[in-house]
Amino acid sequence: MSRPKYQPKLDLTDWQKTNVSESEKILGIVAPELHSFIEEHASLSQWMDRVREGYNTELYDKVLGEIGHELDHHFLYEEKYILSRLVKHIPETEVGPIYKLKSEHEIIRKHYEEAKIMFKNHDPENPSHELIQKMGLLAYLLKKHIEKEDHYLFPLFSLVLSKDEKEEIARDVKAEEMRRGMESE
């Protein structure tokens, strides 16, 4: 008889599932040039909803891949293209939005690296409590980070940044995506 899989009891009272009408309303208060970021948030957020449902080897594998991609693209573009322009309006980097956004990225990167190692070494027949907890924490941190960006930061970036700056961000992201696409061919 196989051992019953550990399924943690998660507190979901602080968790709101991604819903399409909310994402559409957020797009209404974010500048069109920054919409690609909001769309990526919605897609990643849906994956996080699934992680919170419990242990699943294929899902964890897929989700870690998705998160890794986001860290390498989306997170990097926020830092490289948005924060580098925001600093002209809010020069403080030891407290405030630039500091907080970067430090949340760092915390998420750290938990992602740890989760990746734990997942690589785990036994699917007997997944550890620690792995499931780590994946739950990673999902929670990402979800909260996305909520903050969707509801507060991106609507405010949309107002603070000039039209030219927002167009430059969209252009820079597109150019880097194209460049990377060509390099990987």
Among the candidate windows 83-91, 135-143, 146-154, 172-180, which touches Fe ion by CB under 5 A? 146-154
CB of 105 to Fe ion, least distance (A): 6
Stretch 59-78 residues interacting with Fe ion (CB under 5 A)? 78
User: Between 33 and 78, whose beta carbon lies closer to Fe ion?
Assistant: 78
Residues 44, 165 contacting (CB under 8 angstroms): no
User: Between 103 and 126, whose beta carbon lies closer to Fe ion?
Assistant: 103
User: Between 149 and 165, whose beta carbon lies closer to Fe ion?
Assistant: 149
For residue 2, the one-letter residue type is S
Q: Which of 33, 48, 149, 161 binds Fe ion (CB under 5 A)?
A: 149
Q: Per-residue x/- mask for Fe ion, residues 75 to 104, rule CB under 5 A?
A: ---x--------------------------
For residue 176, the one-letter residue type is E
**Exposed, middle or buried: residue 103 (CB in 10 Å: 0-12, 13-18, 19+)?**
exposed
Q: Which two tokens stand for residue 70?
A: 């986001």
Residues 97, 103 contacting (CB under 8 angstroms): no
In the three-class reduction of DSSP (H, G, I as helix; E, B as strand; rest coil), residue 78 is classed as helix
Residues that bind Fe ion (CB under 5 A): 78, 149
